[in-house]
Chains A and B, each alone.
Chain A
Amino acid sequence: MRLKFLPLLSFAIIGFALSSCSIKNEVNNLDPAKTIAESITPEETDPTSKHTETNIPEIQATLNETVQENNDETIAPTFTAPPEPTATVDNRYLPEEWQSWPIIPTLSPAMIEIYQLGIDLGNNPDAFSKVGDCQIIPEVFLGLYDDVNYVLPENMKQLQETIDHFSGSFAREGLALKGGFVFPTVFSPLRADSSVCDPGETPLECELRIHQPTFVLISMEFRYEGRTAEIHEKYLRQAVEYALSRGIIPIVATKADNFEGDHSLNRMTAQIAYDYDLPLWNYWLAVQFLPGHGVDWERDSYGFHVTPDAWLVRSQTFLKTLDSLWKEAREAIEGVNSN
C-alpha cells in the first residue's frame, strides 16, 4: 500500500529534473544588438508621411533602362496642418510600398556622410564586400566581371568603369559568404575562418576588417527553421548597424522568392532601409518580368532557387546599383572637396 504512490513520486522526480533543462531565457526576448552605430540612428517612421510621386519601373528584357519614372501626382488632402518652416518633406517610398521601390537605388545624404566617414577611417574606396549565402557566391553572381575575357554587352559598356574600379571584389568570395550560410552564421565566431580572423571575431566583423570596403551587400535569403520576419529584422539591423559603425554603406536587397508566403521578409528589409535611409536594391522587382518571376520551380518545390535568366538579371542590376551608388558618392565627395 505504501508503495502504491511510488510510480507517481517517480514521475514527479523526473518532471522536476527535466524542468531544470528548460532554456534560461526565451529565445525571442534576447536583445541582439550589441553594437550600435553611433553615427546613424534610424529615423522614426512617420505614418502620416507620404511620397508625392510614384516611381514604377518598367522592366525591359535588355535591361537597357531599369527605372522609368512615372510622375503621377497624388491628390492633395482636403485638410493640411499649417506647414512648419523648417520641416523637410519626406517624399521617400514607404516600406509597405516596397514592391514599387526602384530597382536601382540612390544614395541618401546620410549615406554620403557614411561614405565620407569610411574614407576618413581608411576604408578602401575601390572595394565592396558581400555578406550572404549560395545565392550570391561568385559562381552565380558577379564573378564574371572579374574575368578578363568577359566583354560587356554593347548596351552596358558605360559600366566598364565601375567594373575596372571595383576589380577584384566581384569574384572574391570573402569571409562572410558561403553556401549554407544564414544570418546567424555571420554572427557566430566559431564559423569565422580562424586562419585569418581574430579570435572571437565573427565572419561579418572579419570580412569588413580585412577587406575594408566602402559598400557591403547584405543579402541573406536561405531559409532555416525559426526564421521569421522578426528574427530577420534582428539580424539585419545588427549587420546594418555594424557596417555603419565602420563607415561602410550597407546595400540591402529584396529577394525573388516568397517562401514565407506573405513577403514579410522583403517588407521588413524595406522597413530597415527606410529607417536608416539605406540603398535598397529591389531585386524582386527586377525579376518580375521573367517567367515564374525568376523562381526556378523545377529545381525545388519551395521556390528558393532562381533561374539562370534571373542570375543574369541579378548580376546586371547589382552592377548598375553599384555603378549608381559609387558615382553618386564620388561626385558628392568631389563636390565637397572642390568647394
Chain B
Amino acid sequence: MNCRRQITNRIVLLIMILLGTLSISSCSAGSSPAATIENYLLALAEVDEISAVNLSCADWEEQALAESASFKTVEVTLEDVECQIDSESSDLSFVSCNGKFVFSYDAGEEQELVLNGRVFKVIKEASEWLMCGYP
C-alpha cells in the first residue's frame, strides 16, 4: 500500500516538474534570435502583451505594448512564419522572416500583413536574445 502511494506521489511530482518546465519555456526568450522573433510574432498574434513585453529589450517594451494592443480589434492568424538570421555578432543580430499575418476585421474584411522584407533587430540582454525594434 505504502509502495503504491510512493509511486503515485512520484508520478505526480514528475508531472508537476514537466508542467513547470513547460511553463518556463513558454514565456522565456527564444534560444536564438530567430526563435525570439518567431515567439514575438506569435505573442502579437495571440495579443499576449505580457509575452510580447517579456520578449523585448528594455527600450522596446513600450512599443511591444502598442504592437500587441494594435491587434486587439481584429481576428489574427499568423501563417507560415519562419525566421532566419541575416547577420549576427555576439550581442546583436538581424533577423528576417517569411510568412504573414492575416486579419479579419468587422467579420469579413480581410487584410494581410506580409512579413517578407521586414528586418528585426535582436539584442542580447542578460544572456537572452530579445526583440529590440527595426533597424
Asked if A pairs with B, the answer is yes
Interface of A toward B, CB cutoff 8 Å: 3-4, 6-7, 9-11, 13-14, 16-18, 20-25, 27, 30-32, 34, 134, 178-182, 184-185, 187-191, 194, 199-200, 222-226
Q: Which of A13, A134, A187, A226 contacts B17 (CB 8 A)?
A: A13
How many angstroms from the CA of A179 to the CA of B48 in the assembled complex?
A: 22
Residues of B48-104 whose CB lies within 8 A of A: 49-51, 53-54, 58, 61-63, 65-70, 72-74, 103
Given the complex, which residues of A lie within 8 Å of B15, measured CB to CB?
A: 10
Q: Are B27 and A20 in contact (CB under 8 A)?
A: yes
Q: Are B118 and A180 in contact (CB under 8 A)?
A: no
Q: Are A190 and B106 in contact (CB under 8 A)?
A: no
Q: How far is the CB of B94 from chain A (nearest CB, A)?
A: 11
Q: Are A179 and B23 in contact (CB under 8 A)?
A: no
Q: How far is the CB of B5 from chain A (nearest CB, A)?
A: 8
Given the complex, which residues of A lie within 8 Å of B103, measured CB to CB?
A: 180
Q: Are B111 and A6 in contact (CB under 8 A)?
A: no
**Interface presence of B127 (CB below 8 A):** no
Range of interface residues on B (Cβ < 8 Å):
35 or more
Q: How far is the CB of A5 from chain B (nearest CB, A)?
A: 9
In the A-B complex, list the 5 residue pairs whose CB atoms are closest, starting with the nearest: A10-B16, A180-B105, A184-B69, A21-B27, A185-B70
Q: Are B119 and A199 in contact (CB under 8 A)?
A: yes
What does DSSP make chain B's interface, helix, strand, loop or mixed? helix
How many angstroms from the CA of A21 to the CA of B53 in the assembled complex?
A: 10
Given the complex, which residues of B lie within 8 Å of A21, measured CB to CB?
A: 23, 26-27, 50-51, 54
State whether A13 and B105 are in contact (beta carbons under 8 Å apart), knowing that A24-B53, A188-B63 are contacts in the complex. no
Given the complex, which residues of A lie within 8 Å of B19, measured CB to CB?
A: 14
Q: How far is the CB of B34 from chain A (nearest CB, A)?
A: 17
Given the complex, which residues of B lie within 8 Å of A27, measured CB to CB?
A: 49, 65
Given the complex, which residues of A lie within 8 Å of B135, measured CB to CB?
A: 199-200
